[in-house]
Amino acid sequence: MNQLTGIIPPELGNLTSVVKINLQSNGLTGSLPGELGSLKYLQELILDRNKLQGTVPTESDSSFVASVHGMKGAGSNLTGLCSASQLKVVDLSYNFLVGSLPKCLENLPSTSFQGNCLQGNDARQRPPKQCGPQPSRSHKAPSAKHILPKAAVKPRKASKPTWLLALEIATGIMVGCLFLVAILTVFQRCNSKPAIIIPWRKSGSEKEHLMVYVDSELLKDVTKFGRQELEVACEDFSNIIGSSPDSVVYKGTMKGGPEIAVISFCIKEQHWTGYLELYFQREVADLARLNHENVGKLLGYCGESTPFTRMLVFEYASNGTLYEHLHYGEGSQLSWTRRMRIILGVARGLKYLHTELDPPFTISELNSSSVYLTEDFSPKLVDFESWKTILARSEKNSGSIGSNGSISSNGSICLLPNSLVNRHLDIQGNIHAFGILLLEIISGKPPFCKDKGCLVDWARDYLELPEVMSYIVDPELKHFSYDDLQVICDVISLCIHPDFSKRPSMKELSLMLESRIDTSLSVELKTSLAWAELALSS
């Protein structure tokens, strides 16, 4: 990753011997030059996470015939990117590209074009409000003196009388004093009350109000960020690194501070009930207590009314997700020893969440996309999908009142935070997902694919047969340890066992892995030399 800016020069198409172009996570602007189609040896074009605009080029002076992912049958007059005959991997995600996707690229994964402004029904494109026309900074509006003729320029008006100027000054001072008194009054009232009262109307036709008392002590130790501060850090919320129907994840850098990942909840103010506010604050407090080297740290939250904002701020692991490295990165980056260290780190993180916290904590959706990697490939578990549990709990309990609810003097119902249902714990679900994650790490295959179906079903025939167990290993790996593989396969079999009672706890699984897998440098060097000798002898 660099900090390159400006447009991509069309002259790049003259470098005909180029095989791979990787300019991801920069500040590149302008349109995508169609001259890139002239690179007849180009195999990989990685331009994700920039600020590219315009359409995906389909016209060029090149006459090469495209053959990308079954495009040979599309015709012999393909131009633009379609004419790059050797192109196999394309990633243009998280830019500002518009228009429709060329038919020659429709066979590529949809994730290669997510986070743009492309036409279609793909929910992973940017929201419409982020896809407006991008104003050009290079063209300044001409001043009035260059537009209007001299005859149209009106002369200055005469200065105001002294008495009128004095009256305006006195009026301004009075308004300022009243504003200051109002601020002081609000501040005193906030300090004098132990709780914030949020009225919640069940529907427009009902007269009853549910008065929700939010515990002011719940978030006293959690940092609260301002929306404007996060907007600056995340480049006007344009640096999107993930999205779902319920939330959007931005990457940013705090001024003089660390890199951050900000998850913003996509919900309108009129749909935000008192129950949701309570569950949101409970979730923030729950995430704030997590403190482990293999668990993503919550740095704070943002809650503002104008504009309505609810966000969570996490520390950012700058090496992306494990999913990206397994399925879109270079296989050589994830050696066998490095994969074993990732597995041990995830196991330690889950052991901490399940057995060392009271009450325990579980990851809402444990998969390779919830595992973020640092520069040294140390894993960090991040629960970006916790928002779904907030919605589920709120919908489940919005019609009932906890045991700590009470009736106030004016007939309103008072619901206190400790009357809410606790966070849902799915420990068995985490253990099963951990087994699938191990299988994904050692095989390099996604949990589900169209050709082979579910990864677990494909691997069952190999897990318990030593003579064919090695077929599970990712073919990208140059060498691996058979002893380690046997341990991993034993753990996978225990995790996915259909009988819940026969699945060990994460404490037992973590001990099983740490006691039988050695990830020291000496072991990695010894394994590499053994494979080198085997290659020479053959």
Task: List pLDDT tens digits, range 17-75.
Answer: 888 888 888 888 888 888 888 888 888 888 888 888 988 887 543 333 333 444 434 44
Tally of helices (H runs) and strands (E runs) in the chain: 12, 18
Q: How far apart are CA 73 and CA 104, in angstroms?
A: 10
Please report where in the chains the tokens 């053994």 appear, as a residue: 530
Strands 209-215 and 413-415: what pairing?
parallel
Distance CA 239, CA 163 (A): 53
Query: For the chain, where do the domains classified as CATH 1.10.510.10 start and end?
Result: 331-362+425-538
**Nearest residue to 485 via CA among 328, 321, 337:** 337
CATH number of 1-126: 3.80.10.10
423-457 per-position pLDDT tens digit: 678 899 999 999 999 999 999 999 887 777 899 99
Q: How far apart are CA 391 and CA 37, in angstroms?
A: 47
Locate CATH 3.80.10.10 in the chain. 1-126
Q: Chain centroid to CA 477: how far?
A: 28
Helix residue ranges per DSSP H, 269-423: 274-288, 322-327, 336-355, 386-397
Phi and psi for 253 in degrees, rounded to 5?
A: -135, 120
Its CATH class, for the domain covering 193-316+382-423, is alpha beta
What pLDDT is recorded for position 287?
Answer: 92
Let me know if domain 331-362+425-538 sits in CATH 1.10.510.10. yes
What backbone phi and psi angles, to 5 degrees, belong to 295? -130, 130
Domain with CATH 3.30.200.20 in the chain: 193-316+382-423
For residue 343, CA distances in Å to 110, 183, 377, 383 come to: 28, 54, 11, 18
CA-atom Rg of the chain in angstroms: 29
**Cα(349)–Cα(296) distance, rounded to whole angstroms?**
10
Query: Phi first, then psi: what are they for 303, rounded to 5°?
Result: -140, 105
Q: Where are the beta strands (DSSP E) in 290-386?
A: 298-304, 309-315, 371-373, 379-381
Burial tier of 229 (Cβ tally within 10 Å: 0-12, 13-18, 19+): middle
**What is the rounded CA–CA span in Å between residue 32 and residue 15?**
16
Half-sphere exposure in the Cβ direction for 87 (13 Å, CA): 28
Identify which of 263, 434, 443, 456 has the alpha carbon closest to the alpha carbon of residue 349: 434
Segments of the chain scoring below 50 in pLDDT: 60-77, 134-156, 193-211, 399-416, 419
Assess contact for 274 and 281: CB atoms under 8 A. Answer: no
The pLDDT of residue 492 is 96
